[in-house]
Structure 1
Amino acid sequence: MSRRCIALLGGSFDPVHEGHVALGNYFAKLLFPDELRLLPAGNPWQKQGLQASPEQRIDMLRLAFGGMSVPVVIDRQEIERRSATYTIDTLRQLRADLGPQVSLVFLIGADQLLQLHTWKEWDHLFDYAHICAASRPGFVLDEAHLPVPVAQEFARRAGTPEQIRDCAHGLAYVATNLAINISATEIRAALQRGAQPNSLIPPGVLDYIKQHHLYQN
């Protein structure tokens, strides 16, 4: 029997944008996971003051990821956690809930990869999941551009998509051909100016933002 594979995509999603969708779609086609599980943050320790409410962010996720080729599940555990949100705690809980055999694959963007060494117990994330990262235009994957511990860990743990599907955790993969360069901060600033960043946000999400008057002064 083949091993079950679940791709995990976390973030503040304030708002969800085309970069998030592109990241999910890319790894859905690369890994053929049985499920894409979205993990909207509750109280992310590295970010200040989310503007949209948890329910609004969940609504936007449903609109953005409604057309995915794999089943999509929205996991509320970080939103319901009263303490600060740490990825290591989320992965421990998911592993406890889903068992030791499932392949868990945590997806991150290039900006998160650059900051990975600042995350709580970052090197223990591999004890619970694989980590797959996506590059951005001009991003270089070497020790001159990545923090040395992260570059070394990713080199040591490098695996193929097939290997990632076939074992439960511990491998790393970096996609160097996914050109996404979208900032939620810049999107919020554009919306506050009254601009319409149509190419950066899924149409249904942009309509939702307008209807609920989000990200306005």
Structure 2
Amino acid sequence: MHIGVMGGTFDPIHLGHLRAAEEIYWAFELDKIIFVPAARPPHKEDEFEASAQHRYEMVSLATVYTPYFSVSPIELSRPGRSYSVETLREFRKLYGDESTIYFIMGVDAFLDIAAWKEARELLSLAQVIVTARPGWRLDEVERSMTPEQRHLLGDPRFKYMRVSEITRESVTAHREPGLVLSVEVVSLDISSSEIRQLVKEGRSIRYLVTDTVAAYISKNRLYQPGQKAHRPTEAST
């Protein structure tokens, strides 16, 4: 089985996330992609404006009509901080060593990965796919890493790929531990922070998120002006 795992805060999930997942799914001929909303990531807990449960519900609504997309509550159910390496260990146990797991992340997140818990093991548990984000150049990812970062990650190798040029043969040839795939996908210039700001200003977010997510945000009055930030709590994890 070939599985994609896309983690993130998803505060809220938007069409940029979904489009990147869609392209990776087809290019790598995956069986499914699992979205994993982070409950308590150590470096971003204070940045949340919606609770872990709200963010999980929004991802569920955004993916409900795509049969090869699913959402996992694995980090909400686990107590304590949310560490990607622990999540990947659990998926590895669940799907077995014979399965191929791809860990999909944006270039901005990858540039901080050396500071993540047991980052070197993370790269051994899954094949990392780094996708483009507006304003970032994937072909400069390797050059931007410091020697210390490379050492912490076990001196990984990099392969730059355009999603339109990926073939079954190239996927098989580059399926190996320690190889980071920088994959150029269609990059929609959308950010969760901009969506939150639009909501605060009472402006439309249509065509930035799915209609189901827009309705959920409106119904639950998320990101409203003057609203107290909703941070993850024990009850929601």
Q: Specify the TM-score bucket, using the shorter chain as the normaliser.
A: 0.7 to 0.9
Letter of the 1:78 partner, please give it.
E
Quote how far apart the aligned CAs of 1:138 are: 4.6
1:37 is matched with 34
Quote how far apart the aligned CAs of 1:205 are: 0.8
Letter of the 1:196 partner, please give it.
S
Secondary structure of the 2:16 match is: helix
Once the two structures are superposed, what CA deviation does each residue of 1:28-75 show, in whole Å capped at 9, x if it has no partner? 11112111111111111111343323332222112212343x522221
Letter of the 1:18 partner, please give it.
L
Task: Say if 2:158 and 2:179, in contact at 8 Å, map to a contact too.
Answer: no
Q: State how far apart, in whole Å, the 2-side matches of 1:174 and 1:73 are.
A: 24
1:155 is matched with 158
1:52 is matched with 50
User: Is it true that 1:188 corresponds to 2:191 in the alignment?
Assistant: no
1:63 is matched with 61
1:73 is matched with 70
Aligned length: 211
Q: State how far apart, in whole Å, the 1-side matches of 2:75 and 2:201 are.
A: 31
Relative to structure 2, which stretch is displaced further, 79-88 or 179-188?
179-188
Q: State how far apart, in whole Å, the 2-side matches of 1:143 and 1:204 are.
A: 35
Q: TM-score, normalised by structure 1?
A: 0.85
Q: State how far apart, in whole Å, the 2-side matches of 1:24 and 1:193 are.
A: 29
Identity of aligned residues (%): 26
Task: Name which structure has the greater RCO, CA cutoff 8 Å, separation 6+.
Answer: 2
The runs of 5 or more residues in structure 1 that have no matched partner are: none
CA-atom RMSD in angstroms: 2.6
Quote how far apart the aligned CAs of 1:163 are: 3.6
Once the two structures are superposed, what CA deviation does each residue of 1:74-120 show, in whole Å capped at 9, x if it has no partner? 21111111111111111112112221110000000121122222212
Out of 213, 221, 225, the residue aligned to residue 213 of structure 1 is: 221
Moved over 6 A (4+): 156-159
Task: Say if 1:134 and 1:178, in contact at 8 Å, map to a contact too.
Answer: no
Q: State how far apart, in whole Å, the 1-side matches of 2:55 and 2:26 are.
A: 25
Once the two structures are superposed, what CA deviation does each residue of 1:6-25 show, in whole Å capped at 9, x if it has no partner? 10011111111111111211
Q: TM-score, normalised by structure 2?
A: 0.79
User: Is it true that 1:139 corresponds to 2:149 in the alignment?
Assistant: no
Task: Say if 1:95 and 1:128, in contact at 8 Å, map to a contact too.
Answer: yes
